[in-house]
Structures are given as structure tokens and as C-alpha cells.
Amino acid sequence: MSEVREREFDFTDASFERIRQFVSEHTGIVLTEAKKNMVYGRLSKRIRKGRFDTFDEFCDALEEGDEDEQEFMINAITTNLTAFFREQHHFDYLADTLIPKLIEQKGHNKRLRIWSAGCSTGEEPYSIAITLKEALPDFDEWDVKILATDLDANVVAHGKKGVYREERITGLPDDMIERWFKRGKGDNAEMVRVHPELQKMITFKRLNLLQEWPMNGPFDLMFCRNVVIYFDKDTQRVLFDRYADILVPEAHLFIGHSETLYKVSTRFESLGHTIYQKV
């Protein structure tokens, strides 16, 4: 209780429940009691700016349909942890196993469609693009497009811009950095920009996975990593069923290291290492 009294603003269980309800309805994300302090920390900045005096007033704005506050809420609550070539084994599998298989399956139909769902600030789709550029023979003869989507409009805009702090590429091979990143100069000396060739391959869009999807697919492979962990099992079942519907037969699905389709979906079979194939 002492922690609550020390807070700058009163954050009651009732206010937290209203926020949980909004987040659940609009994103499908389940906020547990353990997230209460995190929610307070992210939202108190909005209260402090002076538009609202209390959390209840903020909740009123959400429930009355204030689009600015709703967008802020969604952006504030979604977690965007990512890195270039995060979970390297997925990209190794893509380069060494899946691309040769796709070349064999496709034959003369050199069309490839990929979906990066929950793309965050763009490191994942750019890592996919680099892998394809470097591992796909005769790349210029292929029609390759990557769709990158996220619920958070801010990170989508970041990804589309393709500019990152130089520290984000620390650890990547020097030759890869030389090929695919341009270092900034002057005021931008600590920044890097991804190569325009990579940007041309990727379309960034804001998308709520739980709402209607504007695209029809079909996609040949999909990355959806560390996204469904925020949803309950029933929502996960619905999502993976929709994923299966929009993927081609035998398409591959890559999920996060702490996720599983066990007792969630029977439409994919595990290939190990959080890699699945559509049945």
C-alpha cells in the first residue's frame, strides 16, 4: 500500500480495470495484475502533461472515443522489443533450408510474398530482406514483396523511415553493414540508414490483427514472433486459424522463442526451433 500512496496520481483498481477492458477489446492483449505498475508508469506521463487531472478522466476520454487518446493508449501499452537478426537460427533456416526449397517448388513462378506481423520498428523485415538478397540466386529475376505490420503507428513510421542508431547494428558482420547500411555524417554521425533496395521490398502498414485484414495473400511464409504471447488461448486459436487461411499450402511460420502452437492449432506441424509448417 505504501507504493500506492507515494504515487503522484491516484491509480485505483477500478481505473486499472477500465484500462484492462479497453486494451482487451481493442488489441486482444491481456493485462494481468502484474502489469499494473507498468501501466501506471507509461500512462502517468500523459496525465502529467496536464490535459487530465486524474486517471478516471483519461479513462473517460478512452471510453468516449477520443481517437488521439486511444491511439496513445495502444502505442503506450504495446511492447516493442526487437533487434536485427534476433533469433538468428530463423534466418539461418530461411537462407540454408527454406530458400532452396522455395526455388525448387516455385519453378518458373518466381513470386514470393512474406508477412512480418508485429514488425515493431522494422528490424525484423529488414533482416528478412537482407537474407533474401544474399541467399536467393538471381534475385533480380524474382518478384519479392514483404508486408510489415504492427499495431503501433509510431513504430510503423520508424520502420518505414529506415533510420536507426548505429548501436543497433553492433555485432553484425562488417561486410553486411557495408552492403546494406549507410552511415550518417555531421549531426547524424551516430545514425545509420538502411539501403533503399531493402526499403523498396517492404510495405509498412498499421494493422490490428484482431480486426479485418485488408490484404488477401496468399503468403509463402510468415514471421509472427513474440506477438501472440499477449493474447489469451482462445484469441491465439482464432489468429493461427486465420494465419493458416492466408498462407499457401506447406507455408512456413516462424514464432517467438517463448511461444508454442501446442494445444493451440492443429493446422501447423512443428519442425523444431519455433518453426512450423502449414499442414
Q: Find the helix packing angle between 55-63 and 13-27, rounded to 10°.
A: 30
Active site residue 150: yes
The answer to whether 144 touches 250, Cβ cutoff 8 Å, is: no
Catalytic residue among 113, 150, 152, 220: 150
Active site residue 220: no
The answer to whether 225 touches 232, Cβ cutoff 8 Å, is: no
Catalytic residue among 42, 86, 237, 267: 42
Q: d(Cα 146, Cα 120) in Å, to the nearest integer?
A: 14
User: Which residues belong to the active site?
Assistant: 42, 150
